Structure formats: structure tokens, C-alpha cells
């Protein structure tokens, strides 16, 4: 059956609008979240996912790439970035500005879309740098009962749908062989994402974006986890500087670590 699989992969790339990685976050006054009046950008692992999909398409024009985001109105900016990087079209699953959509709900939404649109390859980031949960991709693979290739640092998809992937594991690397349909999650070293060029940003404005609500897909996004509080971590005080290596050694001895 795999010999007859068309060369074309119908790729879905979930992207998340997250607080920019370089922003030093502040705890919100109500102690239930962080100050959101800051710069946002596409989650870095999702940029890598987008880049990988685009590189696949550059090798074989028959592939189709859809970017999808679950987020508030402003998340459209993240989709525009994805389109400017090379996605063919985009899906915006719209939620309210204050809605928290947990990984399970996101995975349930993406599952419905993948089934609706006949996607056979989902490339997601390994974790979002805001909630740091790292669960959406794996949950999605479980929900769809597809194989998974998590923390990928090298991905090769053959024309017949066979996949070879190198994964980052504790202590080194692991090589797996699997098949489409597949969920891949990206690790940092999979590739270096491109910056969208100005002409591509202009072209992206003409690309199609579909807007849909979770309820249209029959997905309940009510959180299952209640936020009790968000606090600052215990603060570390720098202990000051020493002038010489001898002084440094004396401090280490004083602390009893040597």
C-alpha cells in the first residue's frame, strides 16, 4: 500500500503565539499569570517546524503546507509569519483574549482538523517556551494513534512515505524508522529557521486564511487545570566578585565544595 502512496505530503504545522524568548517576564498584579503587555513572536520550536516543512517543499513542490494556530485575534500575526516563511494557507482557531487553551484541547482541535483535511504529516515544536509543558505533539500522536518522532534533529521522508529520523535523547542520539502518517516534534538542531523576506511578507497577504472556532469542531476548551497562583521564583543574590584565582579558591574552600 505504501508503494502507491502519492509523493505529495499534506503537512500541518501547528504554531503558537508566545511571549518573545528574549523578554524578561513579570508576574501580573493579580498573581494569576504574567504581564502580557510585552512583545510576542512565534514560539522558536515552531519556527523550526515551519522551516522543516518549507525545506521539504523546496525539495518537492508537490507537498502542501498548512499552518494552524489556536489563539486570540492577535495570533493572526503568527500565522502571517508562517505564511511569509512559506506555508500555502493558514487556519486560525479563534479563542478569546483571556482563554487559556491547554495542550490537550489544542491536540484535540488539531486532531479534528487533520482528520478533516487529510493531513498525513504534522510537524510541531517540542515545547512552547511559555508553559514549557512539552505535551501537545505527543498527545496528538496518541489521539490520532499515529507514530511519533519526538525531539527530531534530522528528518528524512521518502517518496513512499517511509521516514528515517534522528532523535535527541538523554546521553546522545537515537535513530528510528517509521512511516507516514506521522507526528514529528522538532528539537533545536533540526535546522536554522529563515527570516521571511519582504517580498514574501507581501505575497503572504494574498494567501488564504480560514477562521474557525473550537466549538465548530466540537472541542470543549474548558481548562482542566486551575491556576492557583503564579509567583516569582526565589531570588538569587549575586555574591559579588573576587579579584584573583587565589581568592576564588579561598571562597570554594570556605563553602566546603573543595
Partner 1 sequence: MLARNVLRTARASRFSTAPGRFASSLVFLEQKGGKLNDQALTAVTAAKAVGGDIAGIVIGSSADVAKAVEEAKGIEGLSKIYSSASDAYANNVAENVAPLLAKVIPDKLISHLFGAHTAAAKNIFPRLAGLLEVSQISDITAVKGEDTFQRPIYAGNAILTLKSSDKDKYKIITVRGTAFDKAKKEGGSAAVEEVAATDASSPTKFVSEEIVVSSRPDLASAAKVVSGGRALKSQENFEKVLDPLADALGAAVGASRAAVDAGYADNSLQVGQTGKVVAPELYIAIGISGAIQHLAGMKDSKLIVAINKDADAPIFQVADVGLVADLFDAVPELVKELGGK
- Which span sits near partner 1 by CB under 8 A: 55-63, 67-75, 196-204, 221-229? 221-229
Task: Rule CB under 8 A: choose which of 7, 38, 202, 225 binds partner 1.
Answer: 225
Q: Does residue 218 touch partner 1 according to CB under 8 A?
A: no
Task: Rule CB under 8 A: choose which of 66, 69, 136, 209 binds partner 1.
Answer: 136
- Provide the grid cell at 166: 534522528
DSSP string, 149-184: EEEEEEEEE-TTSEEEEEEEETTEEEEEEEESSEEE
Q: Does residue 147 touch partner 1 according to CB under 8 A?
A: yes
Answer yes or no: are the C-beta atoms of 96 and 72 closer than 8 Å: yes
Provide CB contacts within 8 A for 46, sequence distance 6+.
13, 14, 15, 16, 124, 125, 128, 186
Q: Does residue 117 touch partner 1 according to CB under 8 A?
A: no
Query: Beta-carbon neighbour count of residue 120 at 10 Å?
Result: 20
Task: Rule CB under 8 A: choose which of 38, 60, 133, 205 binds partner 1.
Answer: 133
**What's the DSSP call for residue 34?**
B
Residues in contact with partner 1, total (CB under 8 A)? 79
Q: Does residue 7 touch partner 1 according to CB under 8 A?
A: no
Task: Rule CB under 8 A: choose which of 5, 164, 194, 203 binds partner 1.
Answer: 164
Answer yes or no: are the C-beta atoms of 242 and 122 closer than 8 Å: no
- Nearest residue to 134 via CA among 45, 18, 32: 45
| Alpha-carbon span 93 to 78, nearest angstrom | 12
User: Shortest distance, CB of residue 257 to partner 1, whole angstroms?
Assistant: 4
Answer yes or no: are the C-beta atoms of 125 and 191 closer than 8 Å: no
Q: Which is nearer to partner 1, 25 or 201 (CB)?
A: 25
Query: Beta-carbon neighbour count of residue 200 at 10 Å?
Result: 14
* Per-residue binder mask for partner 1 (CB under 8 A), 11-30, x = binder: --------x-x--xx-x---
Q: Which is nearer to partner 1, 97 or 243 (CB)?
A: 243
Task: Rule CB under 8 A: choose which of 5, 20, 34, 41 binds partner 1.
Answer: 34
Residues 61-90 touching partner 1, rule: CB under 8 A, are none
Task: Rule CB under 8 A: choose which of 55, 117, 154, 176 binds partner 1.
Answer: 176
Q: Does residue 135 touch partner 1 according to CB under 8 A?
A: yes
Helix (H) or strand (E) holding 44: helix 44-59
Task: Rule CB under 8 A: choose which of 5, 64, 194, 251 binds partner 1.
Answer: 251
- Which span sits near partner 1 by CB under 8 A: 60-68, 86-94, 100-108, 203-211? 100-108
Amino acid at each position: 500500500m505504501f508503494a502507491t502512496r502519492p509523493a505529495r505530503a499534506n503537512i500541518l504545522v501547528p504554531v503558537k503565539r508566545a511571549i518573545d524568548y528574549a523578554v524578561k517576564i513579570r508576574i501580573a498584579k493579580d498573581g494569576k499569570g504574567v504581564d502580557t503587555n510585552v512583545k510576542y513572536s512565534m514560539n522558536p520550536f515552531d519556527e523550526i517546524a515551519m522551516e522543516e516543512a518549507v525545506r521539504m517543499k523546496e525539495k518537492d513542490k508537490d507537498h502542501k503546507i498548512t499552518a494552524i494556530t489556536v489563539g486570540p485575534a492577535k495570533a493572526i500575526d503568527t500565522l502571517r509569519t508562517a505564511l511569509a516563511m512559506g506555508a500555502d494557507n493558514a487556519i486560525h482557531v479563534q479563542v478569546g483574549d483571556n482563554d487559556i487553551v491547554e495542550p490537550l484541547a489544542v491536540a484535540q482541535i488539531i486532531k479534528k482538523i487533520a482528520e478533516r483535511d487529510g493531513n498525513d504529516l504534522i510537524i510541531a515544536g517540542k515545547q512552547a517556551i511559555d508553559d514549557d509543558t512539552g505535551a501537545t505533539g505527543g498527545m496528538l500522536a496518541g489521539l490520532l494513534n499515529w507514530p511519533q518522532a519526538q525531539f527530531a534533529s534530522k528528518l528524512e521522508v521518502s517518496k513512499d512515505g517511509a521516514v528515517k529520523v534522528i532523535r535527541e535523547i538523554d546521553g546522545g542520539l537515537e535513530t528510528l524508522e517509521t512511516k507516514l502518517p506521522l507526528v514529528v516534534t522538532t528539537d533545536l538542531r533540526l535546522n536554522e529557521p529563515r527570516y521571511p523576506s519582504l517580498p514574501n511578507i507581501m505575497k503572504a497577504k494574498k494567501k488564504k486564511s480560514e477562521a474557525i472556532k473550537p466549538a465548530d469542531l466540537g472541542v470543549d476548551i474548558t481548562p482542566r487545570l486551575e491556576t492557583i497562583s503564579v509567583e516569582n521564583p526565589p531570588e538569587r543574590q549575586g555574591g559579588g566578585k573576587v579579584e584573583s584565582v587565589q581568592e576564588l579558591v579561598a571562597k570554594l574552600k570556605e563553602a566546603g565544595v573543595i
